[in-house]
Chain A
Amino acid sequence: MKLRRTLGFSRRALLQFRHDRRTFAFVLIMPLLMILIFGYTFGGDVKNIAVEIVNQDTGLPPGTSTLLPQGLFLAKNITKNFDRNTLSLHENTNIDDARQKVHDGKAWAAIIFPANFTQNFLTTLTTQPGTAHPKVEIYLDASNPTISAAVIKTISHTIQITLKELTTTLNKTQIEMPITIEQTYAYGGSDTRFIDYFAPGVISFAIMMVTTMITIILFVNERRNGTLQRLLVSPASESEIVAGYALAFAVIGVFQSIVVLVAAILLFNITIIGNIFLALVVILLLAFGHQGLGILLSAAAKNEMQAVQFIPLILFPSILLAGLFWPIESIPSYLQPLSYIIPLRYGIDAERSIMLRGWGIGEIWVDILVLILFALFTLSASVLLLKRKN
């Protein structure tokens, strides 16, 4: 294999992208758009959920307890602590009206604090539990699971916070909470957002789509225009052709990843705690493997029209089965094994482990190995394909 000849192939392909502005734009804008659209809309956290709140809590009459602060309105404290970003609260005095609003679809939930809420809380603390338990009633429209889950999560989270607040303002030994939950994070944290999880995935996905599609179209054109025949009649070997293109795609892939990463960092302030060079190595392996796949698929397409028909074939398994949006654990168990044969899965997994967990080659070597094998297989198969003369 001659280096100069190989570089000649890369150089020409890169020059072609420089002239073909639209393709060049596709290479950059497709992943940028994805990260923008998904980053802003799919942010993972639901916001401004309309919720009716009815507070009938009469609080703690003065002089009833030495344990709790005078004039405590526990429901008020909880209400104050609600995350107003997530819940858009509307105070209501009438329980029936609040329920009706949920019924009419004007609100997703009604939260009701009954009259003796704080008093029952005190009773539970001081006497035997079970007699009069403090109760929060939630009337819920659960037709949208994402929203109802967010409501429930917010409410229980807020109650936890409020109680914690209460115990810290008092002498700690006086109130013993029955169970305390202590969260510590192995990776990520309470501030990890969907976009942090999504960015490493979308980078891998963009490389896969762009490399596969452009390779298919490039090679369909090479065949149809006769340029490939011309190359095959030259002293250049098939492996030089494949390696030359691989190098060009490596340059494009690295460039594309840097642009997407910078955009994700600037716009969404995403977390990257791992080694960025290892992340780029994974990108390169993904690009090599999918370039080989593209060459192989190009043999099955006679023109660009037929090449485009491969898009859904590649797109859907990758989106649905490789864990791009939803964790692989959420796929039905009988479909999960399918994800093992999708190379993108390993790319996404590796990128996430590097960026979010800060893992190194010692932890993600399986992903890397699979990607290397995939690249070796598709690239050598495409060399053989180009050598086939019958």
Chain B
Amino acid sequence: MNVTCPCCGERGKVTFERSFDTTTTVIEIQKLTKTFRKFTAVDSLDLTIYKGEIYGLLGPNGSGKTTIIKMLTGLLQPTAGTTKLFGHTLPCKSIMNDVGYMPQDTAIYIDNTVHENLFFFGSIYGISKQRLEKREREMLQFVDLQNWRDSLVSTLSGGMKHRVSLACALIHEPKLVFLDEPTGGIDPELRATFWEYFGSMVKKGITVIITTHYMDEANRCSRVGLLRQGKLIADGRPSDLKNNTRTNSLEDTFLALAGRKKP
């Protein structure tokens, strides 16, 4: 069906909700640049991400990962370049129904219960009460918090808060999920659990964009982009990157590409 998006005026064989049905391209980034005064945080980034990928944005602190995520989610206005999500040029509010976002901070309301958080974030996506009840059950089961539904978030442990945060990002069944350092500062066991979650999300056809500075985690991504000083210095499957640079770990790959020798 031929529809024009009310936000970006893009025409094509798309509906607002299932535009990815006809194409496997989910994100199309062209010459994306962000400068803060004289500092270039993201430098002319070109990148295409396809449906069902776990794409890992990998790089040290200050390499521009979060800035990229913020531009891809419309939180930041790029200095130059364009981003298309599902064929819609940003900024585009209507496409946000298909996007889930888990910020770096836990980003849930600590003075509300788990249930209230899930229902609130569900309601802003216009989900009906009936479906929301079903989704809540699924999400609580997914992050294994069935017994904590009516607990105040402030009474939960840090790991539990992270799980609630993930559940809130997924409550509206997004097709594309941005996870900004979801495993930052959490214990190894929960990190392993989170990667199981991400794996099962991808199996459902969800595209996952994840930022991390844990090089070992990046091995689990279907594709990684190595970022250094706002520039994409490599982009490919983890195994290919390692083979191309004749290194054994992505950490060494990064150092090799950055022109530094292993200490």
Contact = CB atoms under 8 A, between A and B. Distances in A.
Contacts, number: 84
Interface in A220-271: 224-227, 229-237
Given A19-B152, A231-B124, A225 B116 contact: no
B93 A237 contact: yes
A4 B112 contact: no
Contacts of B125: 234-235
A181 interface: no
Interface residues of A, number: 26
A15 B114 CA distance: 12
Interface of B: 70, 73-77, 93-94, 96-97, 99, 101, 103-113, 116, 120-121, 123-126, 152, 168-169, 178
B93 A225 contact: no
Nearest to B72: A233
B124 A16 contact: no
Interface string A347-377: 0000000000000000000000000000000
Contacts of A8: 120, 123-124
A233 B76 contact: no
A389 interface: yes
Nearest to B116: A15
27 contacts: A2-B126, A4-B126, A5-B124, A5-B126, A8-B123, A11-B123, A12-B109, A16-B112, A19-B111, A19-B152, A225-B110, A226-B103, A226-B106, A227-B107, A227-B108, A227-B109, A229-B70, A229-B103, A230-B121, A230-B168, A231-B124, A232-B74, A233-B99, A233-B178, A234-B121, A235-B126, A389-B75
Nearest to A390: B77
A248 to B, nearest CB: 12
A12 B120 contact: yes
A389 B105 contact: no
Interface in A1-47: 2, 4-5, 8-9, 11-12, 15-16, 19-20
Task: Pick the 5 closest A-B CB pairs, nearest first.
Answer: A226-B107, A226-B105, A8-B123, A226-B103, A233-B101
A367 B126 CA distance: 39
